[in-house]
């Protein structure tokens, strides 16, 4: 799913998706390679669901080459249940070493519906 509009303030990032849903995301880093993001899903200006996304950076060696990934787990905040399975997004070495908040949130938004609808 594509992002139509991207705005931010001091604490939240707001992304309007191509289906007119809005995702409000709050970045909460808690360990060096781990991050938690609070996500509120809005439909027509009403919050219909709240989630927590847990992001973990991973590095591995496969067939003699370094592989850099961002592993995403999604939890329904109200039901305290995991949603879907863990997904991974490929990262470049530069993205892995210097993770940028904006890049990470955009990647998360693009796979959010895939994870949620599994």
pLDDT for residue 115 is more than 90: no
Residue with tokens 């847990």: 54
- The reported pLDDT for the residue numbered 49 is 92
- The reported pLDDT for the residue numbered 41 is 95
> Which tens digit of pLDDT belongs to each residue from 16-50?
999 999 999 998 876 667 888 999 999 998 999 99
pLDDT above 70 covers a percentage of the chain that reads 96
Cα–Cα distance between 117 and 113 in angstroms, integer? 6
Domain count of the fold of the chain: 1
Higher pLDDT, 107 or 31: 107
pTM of the model: 0.82
CB atoms within 10 A of CB 35: 20
Q: With contact defined as beta carbons under 8 Å apart, do 62 and 69 qualify? A: no
The pLDDT mean for the chain works out to 87
Domain CATH for 27: 3.30.380
Residue 111 lies in domain: 3-116
pLDDT for residue 13 is more than 80: yes
Cα–Cα distance between 35 and 107 in angstroms, integer? 14
- The reported pLDDT for the residue numbered 118 is 62
Residues in the chain: 118
């Amino acid at each position: 799913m594509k992002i139509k509009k991207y705005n931010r303030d001091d604490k939240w990032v707001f992304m309007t998706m191509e289906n007119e849903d809005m995702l409000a995301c709050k970045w909460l880093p808690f360990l060096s390679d781990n991050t938690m993001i609070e996500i509120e899903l809005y439909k027509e200006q009403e919050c219909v669901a709240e989630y927590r996304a847990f992001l973990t950076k991973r590095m591995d060696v496969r067939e003699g080459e370094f592989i850099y990934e961002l592993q995403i787990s999604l939890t329904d905040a109200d039901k305290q249940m995991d949603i879907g399975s863990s997904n991974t997004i490929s990262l470049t070495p530069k993205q892995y070493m210097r993770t940028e908040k904006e890049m990470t949130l955009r990647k998360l938004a693009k796979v959010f519906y895939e994870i949620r609808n599994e």
